[in-house]
């Protein structure tokens, strides 16, 4: 019997992707481990390997097709003795759906999802849905139990509730219904309304790729749902700059050159160990506290950003962190990171100092509990310990904190630990 090749889920959060390129054509023989295609997710372009041997009998989804749902059939593999005639009508419907424009592919779930998918999404009274889908359903007054999910294993996703026409929850109390407008998240004006606003003015429409859409969705949700508060400190970098210069001279023979950012990563990793209660993540109805310091670092790429994670950063030397960070950043810019390299962590760093930014406030990337926004190191007048005036290299940082996880005093202790580590850099080698 022909084997259907399904659109893979290349990360836990992936719901759809772009089939960027086929490396095989119909009639090609493939073996386990052969590269079949390149799949573009919101974060990266990744190679998709064959798991079985056989002959490519039919390519269902053409390369360049966007919005291909996870578990949609993208090709059919024939085993020995089978021919194209054995395929019959296999996957004809998914092919048509995936090949359609993205707007059409986002049709109501009830029209494209078979009943088994809906039943699979429900385990007795439990409904499987993404957090964003639940939020949208609540805002629209929709009953999730009446919506069929089109995600993996029948999971209800954003597109299902956005396009659902199910009746509002009948059992909702009147008081809750009247309170809904007060608590509902603000929504953006429609694209048509915005375009009409600028009617008569020249402009170019820029199509959003998957990464830009995910960034917009996640950060909007984060800013609206995560109770941010902000802590600011100035950090004297004179001792660090002097120590860095000495270390770099010693490391020249090894081809290692430490950046200020390498010291910041190390300082944050150690601070999370020094203030362990802050080394945590929000998990919906609980807090997860971690033993290791897994620090994410924002890397700007064309069209968006990556946050590769340096795992066990507290145990690594400055030179090891520098080498690893350079490798992760290079592969991030080429969108060649594997999901496990940019997922996880409890803390993030966003450094805009190299762009001349003095200070800024960063948005927390859930489920992280905090993110450190790092500004440029600039010469400023300071009051020395003896009371005299002097000039020092000062860096302004802002710690954005999730108040559900970290309270004010705890956040202040974490930021103090980061400051102490950076102002006494030699202690980070102990």
Q: What is the pLDDT of residues 316-330, one digit of tens each?
A: 999 999 999 999 999
Verify that 166 and 271 share a domain, yes or no: no
Determine if the pTM surpasses 0.75.
no
Verify that 266 and 415 share a domain, yes or no: yes
Report the Cα–Cα distance between both ends of the chain, in Å, rounded. Answer: 63
pLDDT of res. 272: 97
CATH number reported for the structural domain that contains residue 171 in this entry: 4.10.320.10
Name the more confident of 106 and 273. Answer: 273
Of 70, 90, 105, which residue sits at a domain end? 105
313, 261 contact by CB (below 8 A): no
Strand order in the sheet with 35-40: 45-49, 35-40, 16-22, 65-69
Of 4-13, 61-70, 154-163, 248-257, minimum mean pLDDT range: 154-163
Residues 6+ apart with CB under 8 A from 162: 106, 136
Verify that 117 and 100 share a domain, yes or no: no
Verify that 251 and 153 share a domain, yes or no: no
Mean pLDDT calculated for residue range 83-105 = 48
Q: What are the angstrom distances between the C-alpha of 317 and each of 195, 265, 266, 430? A: 53, 11, 8, 10
Q: Which residues are the active-site residues?
A: 403
Verify that 264 and 405 share a domain, yes or no: yes
Q: How far is Cα 147 from Cα 130, in angstroms, rounded to an integer?
A: 13
Please check whether residue 168 lies inside any domain of the structure.
Answer: yes
Verify that 126 and 76 share a domain, yes or no: no
Of 105, 120, 138, which residue sits at a domain end? 105
pLDDT of res. 425: 95
CATH number reported for the structural domain that contains residue 340 in this entry: 3.30.559.10
Please check whether residue 44 lies inside any domain of the structure.
Answer: yes
Please check whether residue 299 lies inside any domain of the structure.
Answer: yes
| CA–CA–CA angle 374, 377, 379 (5° rounding) | 150
Q: How confident is the model at residue 120 (pLDDT cuts 50, 70, 90)?
A: very low
CATH number reported for the structural domain that contains residue 34 in this entry: 2.40.50.100
- Identify each DSSP E strand in 167-312 by its residue range: 228-236, 280-282, 287-289, 295-297, 299-301, 304-306, 309-310
Verify that 243 and 150 share a domain, yes or no: no
Please check whether residue 164 lies inside any domain of the structure.
Answer: yes
Mean pLDDT calculated for residue range 172-181 = 44
Of 105, 134, 157, which residue sits at a domain end? 105
Of 50-59, 78-87, 289-298, minimum mean pLDDT range: 78-87
Verify that 64 and 124 share a domain, yes or no: no
Verify that 95 and 123 share a domain, yes or no: no
Q: How many domains, the chain?
A: 3
Please check whether residue 313 lies inside any domain of the structure.
Answer: yes
Q: Which residues span the domain enclosing 117? A: 109-184
Please check whether residue 30 lies inside any domain of the structure.
Answer: yes
Verify that 383 and 242 share a domain, yes or no: yes
Please check whether residue 222 lies inside any domain of the structure.
Answer: no
* HSE value, Cβ hemisphere, 13 Å, CA-based, for 204: 3
In this predicted structure, the answer to whether residue 37 has a pLDDT above a threshold of 60 is yes
Please check whether residue 216 lies inside any domain of the structure.
Answer: no
Name the more confident of 16 and 424. Answer: 424
Verify that 260 and 369 share a domain, yes or no: yes
Q: How far is Cα 404 from Cα 406, in angstroms, rounded to an integer?
A: 6
pLDDT of res. 122: 39
Mean pLDDT calculated for residue range 66-87 = 82
In this predicted structure, the answer to whether residue 118 has a pLDDT above a threshold of 50 is no
Token output for 27:
């009639």
Q: How far is Cα 5 from Cα 264, in angstroms, rounded to an integer?
A: 45
Verify that 158 and 246 share a domain, yes or no: no
Residues 6+ apart with CB under 8 A from 1: 79, 82, 86
């Amino acid at each position: 019997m022909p084997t259907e090749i399904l659109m893979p889920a290349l990360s836990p959060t992936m719901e759809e992707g772009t089939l960027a390129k086929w490396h095989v054509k119909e009639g090609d023989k493939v073996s386990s481990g052969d590269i079949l295609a390149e799949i573009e997710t919101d974060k990266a372009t990744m190679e998709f390997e064959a798991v079985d041997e056989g002959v490519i009998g039919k390519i269902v989804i053409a390369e360049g097709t966007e919005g291909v749902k996870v578990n949609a059939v993208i090709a059919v593999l024939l085993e020995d003795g089978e021919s194209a005639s054995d395929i019959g009508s296999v996957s004809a419907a998914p092919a048509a759906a995936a090949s359609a424009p993205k707007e059409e592919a986002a049709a109501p779930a009830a029209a494209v999802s078979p009943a088994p998918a809906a039943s699979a999404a429900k385990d007795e009274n439990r409904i499987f849905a993404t957090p964003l889908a639940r939020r949208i359903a609540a805002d629209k007054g929709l009953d999730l139990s009446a919506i069929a999910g089109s995600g993996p294993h029948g999971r209800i996703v954003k597109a299902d509730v956005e396009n659902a026409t199910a009746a509002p929850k009948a059992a909702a109390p009147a008081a809750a219904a009247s309170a809904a407008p007060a608590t509902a998240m603000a929504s953006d004006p429609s694209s048509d309304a915005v375009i009409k606003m600028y009617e008569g003015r020249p402009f170019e429409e820029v199509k959003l790729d998957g990464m830009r859409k995910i960034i917009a969705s996640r950060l909007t949700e984060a800013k609206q749902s995560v109770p941010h508060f902000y802590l600011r400190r100035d950090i004297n970098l004179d001792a660090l700059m002097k120590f860095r210069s000495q270390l770099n001279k010693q490391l020249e023979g090894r081809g290692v050159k430490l950046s200020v950012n390498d010291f910041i990563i190390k300082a944050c990793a150690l601070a999370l160990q020094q203030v362990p209660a802050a080394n945590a993540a929000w998990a919906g109805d609980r807090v997860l506290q971690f033993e290791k310091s897994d620090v994410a670092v924002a890397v700007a790429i064309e069209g968006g950003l990556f946050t590769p994670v340096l795992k066990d950063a507290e145990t690594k030397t400055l030179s090891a962190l520098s080498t690893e960070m350079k490798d992760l950043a290079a592969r991030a810019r080429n969108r060649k990171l594997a999901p496990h390299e940019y997922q996880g962590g409890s803390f993030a760093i966003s450094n805009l100092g190299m762009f001349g930014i003095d200070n800024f406030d960063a948005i927390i990337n859930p489920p992280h509990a905090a993110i450190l926004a790092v500004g440029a190191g600039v010469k400023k007048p300071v009051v020395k310990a003896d009371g005299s005036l002097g000039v020092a290299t000062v860096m302004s940082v802002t710690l954005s904190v999730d108040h559900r996880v970290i309270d004010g005093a705890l956040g202040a202790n974490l930021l103090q630990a980061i400051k102490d580590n950076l102002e006494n850099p030699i202690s980070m080698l102990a």
